[in-house]
Amino acid sequence: MNRRIRLRRLEGQISEVAYQFTRLHFSGFRDNDYLWRPAVNIFLCSSCLRICVELAGVDSEETRIQVAPGWLSISGSRTAPEPPCGDEEEISASHKAIRVLAMEISYGNFERSIEIPPGYDLERFHTEWENGLLWIFLPRRANA
């Protein structure tokens, strides 16, 4: 009986260590500043280049877009998703997640650079956010 209690206690401690390690591993504690690259789809249309960037859970205010001849760079940050626990007053140690079963959603700082072919007006680009997707529209130059 005593052995069973020690094993349960050890299992609980191992679960806590695994949980904290996972949080540390997937937090911003890395050698490089950028932890992940968002997926993109790029469409070539007759009047513009359309870039779709998957940024679910990213605040548009936390996103930066930089353009330079031949390149477009998207960077920002996404916070780690945490399970809801109910009212703040009801949260106790027993409600926090103690075992991570899967951690596939990337978070932390991100950056994605995209090569832009010649003939696009980089100064006239515009963006739209729709359901966690950032759409970037780069119009063709009038003389291209």
State the amino acid at position 82 in one-letter form.
Answer: E
Query: How many distinct structural domains can be found in the chain?
Result: 1
Compute the distance between CA of residue 93 and CA of residue 109 in angstroms, rounded to an integer: 29
Judge whether residue 71 has pLDDT over 80. yes
Taking only the tens place, the pLDDT of each residue in 51-66 is 999 999 999 998 999 9
Sign of CA dihedral 128, 132, 134, 135: negative
Tell me if 31 is assigned to some domain: yes
Kindly state the percentage of the chain with pLDDT values over 70. Answer: 65
Which domain CATH number covers 81? Answer: 2.60.40.790
Tell me if 47 is assigned to some domain: yes
Tokens of 51: 């870039």
Tell me if 42 is assigned to some domain: yes
Tell me if 12 is assigned to some domain: yes
Tell me if 144 is assigned to some domain: no
Domain that holds residue 135: 2-139
Element (H, E) at 114: strand 108-115
Taking only the tens place, the pLDDT of each residue in 73-113 is 999 999 888 776 655 555 555 555 567 788 888 889 999 99
Tell me if 105 is assigned to some domain: yes
Tokens of 52: 């779709």
Sign of CA dihedral 104, 53, 81, 131: negative
Tell me if 65 is assigned to some domain: yes
